Amino acid sequence: ELKVEQNPLFLSMQEGKNYTIYCNYSTTSDRLYWYRQDPGKSLESLFVLLSNGAVKQEGRLMASLDTKARLSTLHITAAVHDLSATYFCAVDYTGTASKLTFGTGTRLQVTL
Protein backbone atom coordinates (compact mmCIF):
# COMPACT_ATOMS: atom_id res chain seq x y z
CA GLU A 1 0.00 0.00 0.00
CA LEU A 2 1.35 3.37 -0.97
CA LYS A 3 2.01 5.70 1.93
CA VAL A 4 2.78 9.35 1.54
CA GLU A 5 4.00 11.15 4.62
CA GLN A 6 4.74 14.79 5.13
CA ASN A 7 6.58 16.52 7.89
CA PRO A 8 6.08 18.60 9.72
CA LEU A 9 2.30 18.35 10.02
CA PHE A 10 2.12 21.85 11.39
CA LEU A 11 4.57 24.67 10.88
CA SER A 12 4.47 28.08 12.46
CA MET A 13 7.08 30.42 11.09
CA GLN A 14 7.84 34.10 11.18
CA GLU A 15 7.72 36.28 8.14
CA GLY A 16 11.07 36.50 6.42
CA LYS A 17 12.26 33.07 7.55
CA ASN A 18 13.10 30.05 5.40
CA TYR A 19 11.85 26.53 5.91
CA THR A 20 11.44 23.19 4.13
CA ILE A 21 8.52 20.77 4.04
CA TYR A 22 9.36 17.14 3.36
CA CYS A 23 7.31 14.56 1.52
CA ASN A 24 8.30 10.89 1.69
CA TYR A 25 6.56 8.14 -0.22
CA SER A 26 6.83 4.38 0.01
CA THR A 27 6.52 3.10 -3.56
CA THR A 28 8.48 3.93 -6.66
CA SER A 29 7.02 6.82 -8.61
CA ASP A 30 8.40 9.53 -10.83
CA ARG A 31 5.38 11.78 -10.69
CA LEU A 32 4.84 14.05 -7.75
CA TYR A 33 2.54 17.01 -7.32
CA TRP A 34 2.28 19.83 -4.81
CA TYR A 35 -1.04 21.48 -4.02
CA ARG A 36 -2.07 24.36 -1.81
CA GLN A 37 -5.39 24.46 0.03
CA ASP A 38 -6.85 27.40 1.93
CA PRO A 39 -9.38 26.53 4.67
CA GLY A 40 -12.61 25.21 3.19
CA LYS A 41 -11.39 25.88 -0.32
CA SER A 42 -10.31 23.85 -3.31
CA LEU A 43 -6.87 22.49 -4.13
CA GLU A 44 -4.64 24.73 -6.20
CA SER A 45 -1.90 23.12 -8.24
CA LEU A 46 1.55 24.50 -7.42
CA PHE A 47 4.09 22.20 -9.00
CA VAL A 48 4.28 19.07 -11.11
CA LEU A 49 7.54 17.12 -10.85
CA LEU A 50 7.90 14.44 -13.49
CA SER A 51 11.45 13.15 -13.25
CA ASN A 52 14.31 12.49 -10.88
CA GLY A 53 16.16 15.68 -10.07
CA ALA A 54 13.33 17.92 -11.22
CA VAL A 55 13.34 21.34 -9.61
CA LYS A 56 10.68 23.99 -10.09
CA GLN A 57 10.36 27.45 -8.60
CA GLU A 58 7.53 29.92 -8.41
CA GLY A 59 7.97 33.04 -6.35
CA ARG A 60 9.02 32.14 -2.81
CA LEU A 61 8.36 28.42 -3.29
CA MET A 62 10.73 25.86 -4.77
CA ALA A 63 10.02 22.14 -5.13
CA SER A 64 12.39 19.30 -5.90
CA LEU A 65 12.13 15.57 -6.45
CA ASP A 66 14.58 12.75 -5.66
CA THR A 67 12.98 9.56 -6.92
CA LYS A 68 15.80 7.36 -5.64
CA ALA A 69 15.28 8.59 -2.09
CA ARG A 70 11.50 8.75 -2.68
CA LEU A 71 11.60 12.27 -1.34
CA SER A 72 10.29 15.63 -2.42
CA THR A 73 10.87 18.94 -0.71
CA LEU A 74 9.00 22.22 -0.79
CA HIS A 75 11.27 25.06 0.24
CA ILE A 76 9.88 28.36 1.40
CA THR A 77 12.10 31.41 1.11
CA ALA A 78 11.46 34.59 3.11
CA ALA A 79 7.94 33.58 4.08
CA VAL A 80 5.08 36.07 3.91
CA HIS A 81 1.67 35.89 5.58
CA ASP A 82 -0.08 35.15 2.26
CA LEU A 83 1.64 31.77 2.17
CA SER A 84 -0.37 30.59 5.17
CA ALA A 85 -2.32 27.51 3.98
CA THR A 86 -2.17 23.73 4.01
CA TYR A 87 0.25 22.19 1.54
CA PHE A 88 -0.24 18.69 0.20
CA CYS A 89 2.09 16.56 -1.84
CA ALA A 90 0.49 13.86 -3.95
CA VAL A 91 1.99 10.88 -5.73
CA ASP A 92 0.84 9.10 -8.84
CA TYR A 93 2.15 5.56 -8.71
CA THR A 94 -0.03 4.17 -11.48
CA GLY A 95 2.02 5.77 -14.22
CA THR A 96 -1.19 6.90 -15.87
CA ALA A 97 -2.12 9.77 -13.58
CA SER A 98 -5.46 8.02 -13.10
CA LYS A 99 -5.41 8.71 -9.39
CA LEU A 100 -3.40 10.58 -6.83
CA THR A 101 -2.46 9.51 -3.33
CA PHE A 102 -2.15 12.54 -1.11
CA GLY A 103 0.18 13.13 1.76
CA THR A 104 -0.97 14.00 5.23
CA GLY A 105 -0.68 17.72 4.58
CA THR A 106 1.38 20.43 6.25
CA ARG A 107 -0.48 23.30 7.76
CA LEU A 108 1.67 26.40 7.44
CA GLN A 109 1.05 29.47 9.54
CA VAL A 110 3.18 32.52 8.86
CA THR A 111 3.16 35.05 11.64
CA LEU A 112 4.20 38.69 11.60
Q: Is 24 in the site for other proteins (CB under 8 A)?
A: no
Minimum distance from residue 16 beta carbon to other proteins (Å) = 29
CA 63 to chain centre: 7
Q: Compute the 3-state secondary structure of the chain and give helix, strand, coil in percent, each to the nearest 5.
A: 5, 55, 45
The nearest distance, CB 86 to other proteins, in angstroms, is 9
Site membership for other proteins, residue 76 (CB under 8 A): no
100 touching other proteins, by CB under 8 A: yes
DSSP for 41-61, please give it.
S-EEEEEEE-STT-EEEETTE
List residues near other proteins by CB under 8 A. 33, 35, 40-45, 48, 50, 88, 94-105
